[in-house]
Amino acid sequence: MVDFDTAVTMSGGGRGHILARGTARIEMGQHIAAKEDFDALIRADPDDMLALNNRCYALALADRAPEALPDCEKALSMRPDYGPALDSRAFVFLRLGRYQSAIEDYDAALRRMPRSALSLYGRGIARLRNGDPAGNEDIVEAVRINPGVAARMARARVTP
């Protein structure tokens, strides 16, 4: 089996392989390494919306939310209705303690991706931190959709 690093080398640094490796690195908790993959893609194409969104999310996971926000904003300026970018920006707002902004972005993301367990869970946390007990309902629904979402958010250090 070929690993991502080998695939990237074999492809001559192809965009798709670098994007996939960066995304895999996020999932493995290697947020700074993921950011470096997305940095390379953005250097090649400053308007690479997927790389901007993914770098935003990787930075937020690495507790660098203030640095992440401009990437989310730029991705959303290119496609304001892109659900994953709305979710990423909501996560950044959650990290920044801007709970109402997080709720608004999670609401918008959920209009586009109604079964997103991550968006539901994130909105639940933002609602609870904003004093709204309805956040518990979001969390229960998120876990019903994806039982692993609570563990994933806990790895991101986001818990009720």
User: Given this model, what pLDDT does residue 38 score?
Assistant: 83
Rounded to whole angstroms, how far apart are CA atoms 58 and 94?
Answer: 14
Q: Kindly state whether residue 39 falls inside one of the protein's structural domains.
A: yes
The fraction of the chain above a pLDDT of 70, given in percent, is 91
115: pLDDT strictly greater than 50: yes
- Same domain? For 157 and 132 the reply is yes
Q: Kindly state whether residue 139 falls inside one of the protein's structural domains.
A: yes
User: Given this model, what pLDDT does residue 13 score?
Assistant: 56
User: Given this model, what pLDDT does residue 106 score?
Assistant: 98
Task: Give residues with Cβ within 8 angstroms of 68, minimum separation 6.
Answer: 55, 56, 57, 58, 59, 60, 88, 92, 95
Give the chain's domain count: 2
- Same domain? For 1 and 54 the reply is yes
Rounded to whole angstroms, how far apart are CA atoms 100 and 108?
Answer: 12
Q: Domain of 112?
A: 79-160
Greater model confidence, 138 or 36: 138
88: pLDDT strictly greater than 80: yes
Q: Kindly state whether residue 88 falls inside one of the protein's structural domains.
A: yes
Q: Kindly state whether residue 48 falls inside one of the protein's structural domains.
A: yes
Q: Which residue's structure tokens are 């707002």? A: 93
Four-residue CA torsion sign, 154, 104, 97, 132: negative
Q: Kindly state whether residue 96 falls inside one of the protein's structural domains.
A: yes
Confidence class for position 59, pLDDT limits 50, 70, 90: confident
Q: Average pLDDT, stretch 31-54?
A: 87
Q: Kindly state whether residue 152 falls inside one of the protein's structural domains.
A: yes
**Of 11, 33, 67, which residue constitutes the final position of a domain?**
67
Tokens encoding 105? 């972005």
User: Given this model, what pLDDT does residue 99 score?
Assistant: 98
Domain harbouring 85, CATH code: 1.25.40.10
User: Given this model, what pLDDT does residue 114 score?
Assistant: 96
Q: Are 68 and 31 in contact (CB under 8 A)?
A: no
Q: Kindly state whether residue 73 falls inside one of the protein's structural domains.
A: no
- Same domain? For 88 and 54 the reply is no
Greater model confidence, 15 or 7: 15
Q: Kindly state whether residue 13 falls inside one of the protein's structural domains.
A: yes
- Same domain? For 15 and 53 the reply is yes
Q: Are 23 and 31 in contact (CB under 8 A)?
A: no
